A and B are shown apart, each in its own frame.
Chain A
Amino acid sequence: MAYPYTHEREVRVMSRGFGDPATRTLAGWKELGGYEALEQALGMSPDDVTEEVKASGLRGRGGAGFPTGVKWGFMPKEKKGPHYMLINADESEPGAFKDRELMRWTPHQVIEGAMIAAHAIRAQDVYIYIRGEFFEVAQIMGRAVEEAYAAGIAGKNAMGSGVDIDVTMHLGAGAYICGEETALMNSLEGRRGQPRIKPPFPAASGVFAQPTTINNVETVTSVPHIIKNGGAWYRQWGTEKSPGTKMFNVSGHVARRGNYELPLGFPMDELIYDVCGGIRDGRELKAVIPGGSSVPILTAEEVEGLASDYESVAEAGSLLGTASIIVMDDRTNMVTQVRRMVEFYAHESCGQCTPCREGTSWLVKILRRIEAGEGTADDIDTLRGVSRNVTGTTICVLSDSAAVPVMSWLEKFPEDVERLVPRRPQVPAGATAGLVEGQGE
């Protein structure tokens, strides 16, 4: 048992170096076969690299699950100016801590994957945009980048291949919204971290108005293994539409919280009860957020027998997202839970679009009141109305994400709502003044 917790049912492809500080060094990483895939990829044509990743069926691990090879294919085949490869390491969603661990334990794996991705899209520059609060990660990654340069892996004539790929780290300033791809680009350019209007899409005009691809840390971390072993090899795990392995980062009321690398489609209840050792203190499961705080909450019944791949979770009415699973036991006060999540979004709203700027903070105020036991029946309607009005009306989806926990709470935990907001008898207007016949007391 190394690394906080491991489990025999794990398939440790990306996470095989976890827990061993040696893998943080170039030498240690090379011992595990590191940079062989990069050398191999640099010898291939960019299109062949893309084809291999397409064949693997790898899907973006940043939450949306868009096929990575297809995304790379959007980049222009002819290079008219610089192309940029951005690595989104601004992992800030409540519940998510997989990229942090990948960078902390295997920084060279991230660099290797990023450089392969850069080669595939003909980019001469990789920017790794790291969340501002990740001080330790930034130090580890920084040392690894230096090592890679010193060893001739990154920079001009990478690994003697004749291909130039520079790797630059950029530390954010601690804004969740900078994890939105276009806000990240603005931030990288030195502007306010606010999402841009799309179109233009990044592949046409991204950072510095040049063709850009942006990938999640975990996505590019999967790539070296695919290049080394082939797309078909990668498909031995997971389902037809969700192939491969995925980091499942589980937090909340389970016995063994942590990062587990499992094949996609792994049964979620087994993940909770077997891999994570079940609900702690012998309590009952109440709810599960399967993909980070911005996806709808699932009830204990909905999780039963649920396969954790993109399609199955979507069918159950939620999203696999980043597979950042938050488990809640029967003691959880859902309104507190929801209020804290919405508070997060209100705090992190960039403030550009009106519905998000005003709507998220309004939701918080209402929820705080309900939490304090001062809710009224009207508040439930207002919560619904506000949630509806912040959904689909803004440039990015931050406010949509804030509405999600509210809506799923109202929909799935009516007994909570009922307890906190007692339905008062309906008294017609004017009844108390004796103007109309009232049925109220």
Chain B
Amino acid sequence: MANGNGSDTVSCTIDGREVTVPKGARIIEACEQLGIGIVHYCYHPALSAPAMCRMCLVEVEGAPKLQPACVTPVQDGSVIRTDTEDAEEARKGVLEFYLVNHPLDCPICDASGECKLQDYVFQEGRAHGRSVEAKAVLGQDDFGGDVIYDGDRCIMCTRCTRFMREVADDERLCVVQRGSRSVIDTFFEEGLDGSPFASNVIDICPVGALLSKDFLHKARAWDLDRTPSVCPNCSQGCNITLDTRDNLVQRLKPRHNPDVNSYWMCDYGRYRYEWMNRGAVAVPKAKGSSAEVAEGNRGAVTLGGGSAGTRLEAPMVRRDGVLESATWKEAVTALVERLGALDGGISVVGSPYHGNEGNGLLKRLQAVLGGDKALYRSPRAEDEVTLPGFEKLTRRRDLSANGRGLETLGFARVGADDGSGGLTDPGTALVVLGDPLVDQDPGFGDGAELVVYLGTVESPALTSADFVLPITSYAEQEGTFTNFEGRVQRFWPALNAPPMARPAWQVLGVVLAGLDDGAAPASAGDAFLRIAELYEPFSGLSYPHIGTRGALLNEPVRVTAGEEA
């Protein structure tokens, strides 16, 4: 063990194990370093610590009473115990207090299954509560925005008020009344309405006091699959999880990444997920399934590739003027043949809602066949929205995930700020990836010799397409986005794609192999390695190096212990 003699570190013993931490570190941080779990409610690493939940009390040798681990700095040579009878009794006592007035309505509470009160009481609470008194009733409140409040469940940790004050810099929540009559409340009528980061208070609420109206009673926490991903709704690339059930995305939750979004994400990104569910594979409906919800939202959202599109289910090849379904083998064979016969090169249209792999191989296809037009469109907001307490997190102007990636691969952005226009001449041969060209009139590309469309949904504009090939959406495949500052970040498949849909990198990889340009990649990781070979800014990067936290383009990558390898 390293000694703590250096001027900027201190050493202490916790539960008999020695640990060295930076000077000023708090006991709770030292415990974390040792992997000792300290139960806590009010403490959150990104907020100030008021030491008021009184859950993290530990014994410090020499101190007259138990000390709150969340605020007490580690003193050099101090001996700390978290597992003594006094500390355990204190925690048990506090947990019992929490339940004196808590309604224990877990069966109808959305937080059930991801509730810290449930967890801790189960872990170390008393088996039987001693309170026989009537419980206090404080009632519910609509906080505006997406947030509703249940005062009965609230444990008054004040994480939400501190988030709004310290991080959002928009003090719209406060504690009113005092003592056991305290509740959280808003000022005036608008409440949280219009505060761009307000929904983070739902995430940091350790119990079911703050709930999302959008997610209300949609799914039980234990029924959700949580897939690490990247928010596709702007070029910030906030790390998120896609929480899915019944093959539908039910909600987005931020995932901690100190380099990108800390613990937060904006409401703009958080509530734009229904498009991912469009055309999702139908599964037998479970009781209370939200399939109807997703159905109702079909076409309601224009982001991520057009509106009103029906999901493509099978490869289609035009034979004798008629678009007919085909097997993938037939389609790819025919496509390779047609592309090989081309003379004048190809124009390509990429999509910033698809990963680097598919777009990169599309650009490669152009490099092999010739042609100079490589375009993409993306919507842009009028301004940026910055989170004052973590300024790096900004809802960027660029409202697509992979604009920087496409620029890096050699695509040029065209069109207006609503993501339309800019495409006038389809050229002699056109290959479109992911963009259903909803703004174009039917008949776009009629004059072209060859039109190939790889997409998730039908494109009403490409009536003359010779090949219509179903690909998977970003939520259905593994891949990477490159965010505004050139950070390449991985996402993982959260949904099942329609059975015949394939990732774009796979389709294009096979086509390229057919054109004698290397071997077809066997995986998304392979495809990425191919991109890294082909495009200098990506060189040196690979999936294992990117890991769960991302890596900057052209940045020497360090693999640190503990990260995914």
Write the residues of chain A forming the contact surface with B, with a CB cutoff of 8 angstroms: 175, 177, 192, 197, 346-355, 357-362, 365-366, 369, 378, 382, 385, 388-389, 392-395
| Cβ of A415 to closest chain B Cβ, rounded Å | 25
* Interface residue ranges of B79-107 to A (CB < 8 Å): 89-90, 93-94, 96-98, 100-101
Residues of chain B contacted by A378 (CB below 8 angstroms): 130
Cβ–Cβ contact B96 & A192, under 8 A: no
Contact of A382 among B57, B65, B130, B134 (CB under 8 A): B130
Cβ–Cβ contact B51 & A354, under 8 A: no
Query: If A358-B101, A382-B130 touch, does A394 touch B54 (CB 8 Å cutoff)?
Result: yes
Cβ–Cβ contact B179 & A354, under 8 A: no
Q: Closest residue of chain A to B51, judged by CB?
A: A197
Greatest chain A CB density within 10 A among B52, B68, B134 is at B52
Residues of chain A contacted by B57 (CB below 8 angstroms): 393
| Cβ of A330 to closest chain B Cβ, rounded Å | 31
- The answer to whether the Cβ of B133 comes within 8 Å of any Cβ in the partner chain is yes
Cβ–Cβ contact B66 & A392, under 8 A: yes
Residues of chain A contacted by B96 (CB below 8 angstroms): 389
Query: If A354-B97, A382-B130 touch, does A361 touch B90 (CB 8 Å cutoff)?
Result: no
Count class of interface residues, chain B: 20 to 34
- The answer to whether the Cβ of B558 comes within 8 Å of any Cβ in the partner chain is no
Query: If A359-B97, A393-B57, A393-B94 touch, does A365 touch B178 (CB 8 Å cutoff)?
Result: no
Query: If A389-B90, A389-B96, A393-B94 touch, does A360 touch B52 (CB 8 Å cutoff)?
Result: no
Residues of chain B contacted by A358 (CB below 8 angstroms): 97-98, 100-101, 180
Q: Closest residue of chain A to B53, judged by CB?
A: A354
Write the residues of chain B forming the contact surface with A, with a CB cutoff of 8 angstroms: 50-55, 57, 65-66, 68, 71, 89-90, 93-94, 96-98, 100-101, 130-131, 133-134, 136, 155-156, 175, 177-182
- Cα(A385)–Cα(B53), bound, Å: 19
Query: If A348-B179, A355-B97 touch, does A392 touch B136 (CB 8 Å cutoff)?
Result: no
| Cβ of B406 to closest chain A Cβ, rounded Å | 50
| Cβ of B379 to closest chain A Cβ, rounded Å | 43
- Cα(A352)–Cα(B68), bound, Å: 14
Cβ–Cβ contact B155 & A365, under 8 A: no
| Cβ of B47 to closest chain A Cβ, rounded Å | 15
Known A348-B178, A354-B98, A389-B90; further 5 A-B contacts with Cβ < 8 A: A177-B178, A351-B177, A352-B52, A355-B97, A385-B130
Residues of chain A contacted by B180 (CB below 8 angstroms): 346, 349, 351, 357-358, 360-361
- Cα(A300)–Cα(B53), bound, Å: 40
Contact of B93 among A177, A360, A389 (CB under 8 A): A389
Query: If A360-B180, A389-B94, A395-B52 touch, does A351 touch B131 (CB 8 Å cutoff)?
Result: no
Contact sample, A vs B, 25 pairs, CB 8 Å cutoff: A177-B178, A192-B175, A349-B178, A351-B156, A351-B179, A351-B180, A352-B50, A353-B52, A354-B52, A354-B54, A354-B55, A354-B94, A354-B98, A358-B97, A358-B100, A360-B180, A361-B101, A361-B180, A362-B100, A362-B131, A362-B133, A365-B133, A382-B131, A389-B89, A393-B90
| Cβ of B564 to closest chain A Cβ, rounded Å | 38
- Cα(A115)–Cα(B14), bound, Å: 49
Greatest chain B CB density within 10 A among A192, A350, A351, A394 is at A351
Pairs of residues from A and B, 3 with the lowest C-beta to C-beta distance, nearest first: A389-B93, A358-B97, A351-B182
Residues of chain A contacted by B133 (CB below 8 angstroms): 362, 365-366, 369
| Cβ of B42 to closest chain A Cβ, rounded Å | 9
| Cβ of B466 to closest chain A Cβ, rounded Å | 69
Cβ–Cβ contact B71 & A197, under 8 A: yes
| Cβ of A392 to closest chain B Cβ, rounded Å | 5
Query: If A197-B71, A392-B65 touch, does A354 touch B156 (CB 8 Å cutoff)?
Result: yes
Q: Closest residue of chain B to A398, judged by CB?
A: B179
- Cα(A175)–Cα(B136), bound, Å: 22
A contacts with B: majority SS: helix
Cβ–Cβ contact A355 & B93, under 8 A: yes
Query: If A354-B155, A393-B90 touch, does A361 touch B130 (CB 8 Å cutoff)?
Result: no
Greatest chain A CB density within 10 A among B57, B90, B133 is at B133
| Cβ of B67 to closest chain A Cβ, rounded Å | 10
- Cα(A378)–Cα(B132), bound, Å: 10
| Cβ of A46 to closest chain B Cβ, rounded Å | 32
Q: Closest residue of chain B to A196, judged by CB?
A: B50
Residues of chain A contacted by B55 (CB below 8 angstroms): 354
Query: If A197-B71, A351-B156, A352-B52 touch, does A361 touch B179 (CB 8 Å cutoff)?
Result: yes
| Cβ of A200 to closest chain B Cβ, rounded Å | 11
Greatest chain B CB density within 10 A among A197, A349, A369 is at A197
- Cα(A40)–Cα(B512), bound, Å: 98
- Cα(A154)–Cα(B101), bound, Å: 51
Residues of chain A contacted by B90 (CB below 8 angstroms): 389, 393
Q: Closest residue of chain A to B175, judged by CB?
A: A192
| Cβ of A339 to closest chain B Cβ, rounded Å | 14
Residues of chain A contacted by B52 (CB below 8 angstroms): 352-354, 395
- Cα(A282)–Cα(B51), bound, Å: 51
- Cα(A211)–Cα(B156), bound, Å: 31
| Cβ of B514 to closest chain A Cβ, rounded Å | 67
- Cα(A355)–Cα(B89), bound, Å: 13
| Cβ of A418 to closest chain B Cβ, rounded Å | 21
Cβ–Cβ contact B97 & A362, under 8 A: yes
| Cβ of A370 to closest chain B Cβ, rounded Å | 12
- Cα(A350)–Cα(B176), bound, Å: 10
Q: Closest residue of chain B to A195, judged by CB?
A: B52
Q: Closest residue of chain A to B179, judged by CB?
A: A349
Residues of chain B contacted by A351 (CB below 8 angstroms): 156, 175, 177-182
Query: If A362-B133, A366-B133 touch, does A389 touch B97 (CB 8 Å cutoff)?
Result: yes
| Cβ of A407 to closest chain B Cβ, rounded Å | 15
Q: Closest residue of chain A to B86, judged by CB?
A: A392
Residues of chain B contacted by A382 (CB below 8 angstroms): 130-131
Residues of chain B contacted by A175 (CB below 8 angstroms): 178
| Cβ of A26 to closest chain B Cβ, rounded Å | 39
| Cβ of B164 to closest chain A Cβ, rounded Å | 15
| Cβ of B346 to closest chain A Cβ, rounded Å | 66
- Cα(A346)–Cα(B97), bound, Å: 14
| Cβ of B204 to closest chain A Cβ, rounded Å | 18
- Cα(A350)–Cα(B180), bound, Å: 8
- Cα(A172)–Cα(B552), bound, Å: 55
- Cα(A353)–Cα(B71), bound, Å: 14
- Cα(A192)–Cα(B133), bound, Å: 29
- Cα(A378)–Cα(B98), bound, Å: 20
| Cβ of A384 to closest chain B Cβ, rounded Å | 11
- Cα(A359)–Cα(B94), bound, Å: 9
Residues of chain B contacted by A362 (CB below 8 angstroms): 97, 100, 131, 133
Query: If A353-B52, A354-B52, A354-B155 touch, does A361 touch B136 (CB 8 Å cutoff)?
Result: yes
Q: Closest residue of chain B to A356, judged by CB?
A: B179
Cβ–Cβ contact A393 & B178, under 8 A: no
- Cα(A346)–Cα(B100), bound, Å: 14
Residues of chain B contacted by A346 (CB below 8 angstroms): 179-180
- Cα(A234)–Cα(B50), bound, Å: 43
Q: Closest residue of chain A to B157, judged by CB?
A: A354
Q: Closest residue of chain B to A379, judged by CB?
A: B132
Q: Closest residue of chain B to A350, judged by CB?
A: B178
Greatest chain A CB density within 10 A among B55, B98, B130 is at B130
Residues of chain B contacted by A354 (CB below 8 angstroms): 52-55, 94, 97-98, 155-156
| Cβ of B512 to closest chain A Cβ, rounded Å | 63
| Cβ of A401 to closest chain B Cβ, rounded Å | 14
Greatest chain B CB density within 10 A among A348, A357, A382 is at A357
Query: If A361-B136, A382-B130, A389-B97 touch, does A350 touch B179 (CB 8 Å cutoff)?
Result: yes
Residues of chain A contacted by B101 (CB below 8 angstroms): 358, 361
- Cα(A322)–Cα(B276), bound, Å: 68
- Cα(A407)–Cα(B178), bound, Å: 25
